[in-house]
Structure 1
Amino acid sequence: MFNDIGALEIVALVVLAVLIFGPDKLPKVIQDVSRTIRKIREFSDSAKADIRQELGPEFKDFEFDDLNPKKFIRKQLDNDELGLKEIRNGFDLKKEMNEVADAVHGRDSDSDSTSSAPSGSAASSSGARVDMQKKPANPASVDRPPFDADAT
Structure 2
Amino acid sequence: MFNDIGALELVTLVVLAVLIFGPDKLPKVIQDISGFIRKVRDFSDSAKRDIRDELGPEFKDFEFEDLNPKTFIRKQLDNEDLGMKDIRNGFDMRKEMAEVTDAVNGSGSAASASASASAASSGPELTKGGGADLEKKPTRLTKDEPPPFDSDAT
Distance 1:57-1:28 versus aligned 2 partners, 3 A rule: same
1:58 counterpart = 2:62: no
Secondary structure at 2:41's aligned position in 1?
helix
Distance 1:94-1:18 versus aligned 2 partners, 3 A rule: same
Matches within 5 A, 1:1-152: 1-97=1-97, 152=145
In the aligned structure 2, how far is the partner of 1:52 from the partner of 1:147?
60
In the aligned structure 2, how far is the partner of 1:13 from the partner of 1:21?
12
Alpha-carbon offset, residue 98 of structure 1: 5.5
Which runs of 5 or more residues in structure 1 are unaligned? 109-145
From the CA coordinates, give the structure whose radius of gyration is larger: 1
State the identity %. Answer: 75
Secondary structure at 1:91's aligned position in 2?
coil
Which runs of 5 or more residues in structure 2 are unaligned? 110-138, 146-154
Name the structure 2 match of 1:116.
none
Normalized against structure 1, the TM-score is what?
0.62
* Larger RCO (CA within 8 A; separation ≥ 6): 2
One-letter amino acid of the counterpart of residue 32, structure 1: D
Number of aligned residue pairs: give it: 115
- 8 Å contact kept, 2:78–2:84: no
One-letter amino acid of the counterpart of residue 94, structure 2: K
In the aligned structure 1, how far is the partner of 2:95 from the partner of 2:79?
27
Normalized against structure 2, the TM-score is what?
0.61
More helix by share: 2
Secondary structure at 1:43's aligned position in 2?
helix
Alpha-carbon offset, residue 52 of structure 1: 0.9
